[in-house]
Amino acid sequence: MFKNFLLIVFVLISFSVAAQKQTAQRYSAKPKLVVGIVIDQMRWDYLYRYQHRYGTGGFKRMITQGYSFENTFIPYLPTYTAVGHTSVYTGGVPATHGIVGNNWYERSIKKNMYCTEDSTVQGVGSSEWAGKMSPKNLWATTVTDELRLSNNFQSKVIGISLKDRGAILPAGHTANAAYWFEEKTGKWISSTFYMQELPTWVNDFNAKDRGGELMKTDWNTLYPINTYTLSTADDKEYEGTIPGEKTSTFPHKLSTITTQKYLAIKYTPSGATLSFEFAKEAISNEKMGTGSVTDFLTLSISSTDYMGHTFGPNSIEAEDTYLRLDKDIADFLTYLDTKLGKDNYMVFLTADHGAAHVPGFLKEHNVPSGTFTDEGFRTELNKAVSDSFGYPNSILNLQNYQLYLDINGMVEKGVDVSAVKSFIIKRLKQNPIITSVFELANLTATLPEPVRTMVVNGFNATRSGDIQFLVRPGYFDGFAKGTTHGLWNPYDAHIPLLFFGWGIPHGKTNRTTYMTDIAPTVAAKLQIQMPNASVGKVLEEVTQ
């Protein structure tokens, strides 16, 4: 009897050791491939708003088999695309990584600067300005850079996005390649920063004209339009139109768009499909995930942003876009399963920012909202300063809710700069939609948290403006049709964050986490140094 008991104990221990060994073997090696997916303008609530209509292989699979950080926020201002993609991959904020907006006023050259423009490079696959891009304006390393640095550049890193900034900034300084979509020709292009000519597989893909093929199919709703009960009516005057169309309603006659079809595809679910298809080609042809070290693909889905700006979060277009995106994600995960094996890749999915509801929609439901234009503010303020101080163009630029003042010019003319600043601040405070105005270099304004920290994190002494203002919830710099983003409010700053695949346990947490935690967490998983401007913390829920 006792011998039998010992035998049973021995067998159980053997099974336990074998299971532990099998688990250790399964997860001891690093993943063959990491894929970072950034859904441009995806509000966190989209994960659950349409959940009952999602399939089992896309968002639901990532949630039920992966780990969801339910309260992930952006910790800086402004909440724009270039800043978001940079902060995801650097773990830094504008104060540390240098990308303060999609555009900013560059005082050193007295002109507006686009985040990825680089006059020292040429387009590859394009002779246009669209190809003259690189990560030159990015001060910091990315987690993709650190991966390459960790193994003497053996890892392969490729960035893909319809937008240049969505491809270039995540891929970093040392990437093997970054590819973006040229709306004039419908081709995927790059620049001489990365290569002298496009690889054969990219030329072959371009020759197929998949964008043109996808645009031959009109955009109808995936399901009967009367079942889209989570969206407002289709025909609303505050919705915009897809380039080349005259109406904002379904069905969208994409097949009739000719000269603008490659621009128009960016506004449709087909833009996401095209991006995923190109990503698969990159993985296959570059043999990513087949070597002895981890490779990294950064994939930004931009069409959700173009669509969102045009139609807004409560539109049928938004609902249909995410239902179709869910299918694209499911298909992509299945591809990775087949290509690499289910336990051999790790994916994180997040967003660069969210979006506000369209003011016209909010007003229909008695919610305070409205728009203004930066240029309108700048014109009015410059006239007021000119009338009071005799200096005609005191404000050189107004963007990112920041005013850039011509301080040197005013000093040369003997104008009291402090008096002008006080005058502008007082004048702005008189506007009923403005809640706070303050000097960025001397932040003494009484601001609640987390707004104060977001302002501080967003301030870069070299590239930011002199005076910043904040506005009421529901208001933004924009126009009567469509919507935008850029502010501190949860509709802009609350983003999804899912980890899935290799070494990721199932679970979720509602504790507050931040966009800047992504890069140090990926670095910890890969056992490499975190990026050199990172201020984030490791998310231990997925690293233990």
Residues with a catalytic annotation lie at: 81
How deeply is 226 buried, as exposed, middle or buried, from its count of CB atoms within 10 A (0-12, 13-18, 19+)?
exposed
Q: Which two tokens stand for residue 37?
A: 């997916």
Burial code of 403-416, b = ≥16 C-beta within 10 A, e = fewer? bbbbbeebeeeebe
Tell me, what amino acid is at 249? Answer: T
31, 35, 36, 38 alpha-carbon torsion, rounded to 10°: -150
Contact of 500 with 65, CB cutoff 8 Å: yes
Contact of 413 with 391, CB cutoff 8 Å: yes
Q: Which two tokens stand for residue 432?
A: 């009923």
Q: Which two tokens stand for residue 39?
A: 């859904």
Q: How far apart are CA 541 and CA 528, in angstroms?
A: 18
As separate numbers, helices (DSSP H) first and strands (DSSP E) second, the chain gives 20, 19
Q: Is 421 helix (H, G, I), strand (E, B) or coil?
A: helix
Cα–Cα distance list, 357 to 31, 361, 416, 484, 491 (Å): 39, 7, 41, 8, 8
Number of C-beta neighbours around residue 539 at 10 A: 24
Q: In terms of DSSP bridges, do strands 494-495 and 67-73 run parallel, antiparallel, or are they unpaired?
A: antiparallel
Please compute, for residue 46, the number of CA atoms within 13 A of its CA located in the half-sphere on the CB side.
35
Cα 270 to chain centroid, rounded: 18
Q: What one-character-per-residue DSSP string does 324-336 give?
A: HHHHHHHHHHHHH
Contact of 90 with 142, CB cutoff 8 Å: yes
Q: Is 206 helix (H, G, I), strand (E, B) or coil?
A: helix
DSSP assignment, residue 58? T
Contact of 309 with 316, CB cutoff 8 Å: no
Q: How far apart are CA 44 and CA 49, in angstroms?
A: 9
Q: Which H helix or E strand runs over 25?
A: helix 2-28
34, 537, 400, 190 alpha-carbon torsion, rounded to 10°: -20
Please compute, for residue 395, the number of CA atoms within 13 A of its CA located in the half-sphere on the CB side.
27
Residue 39 CB contacts under 8 Å (≥ 6 apart), including other chains: 301, 304, 325, 349, 350, 351, 496
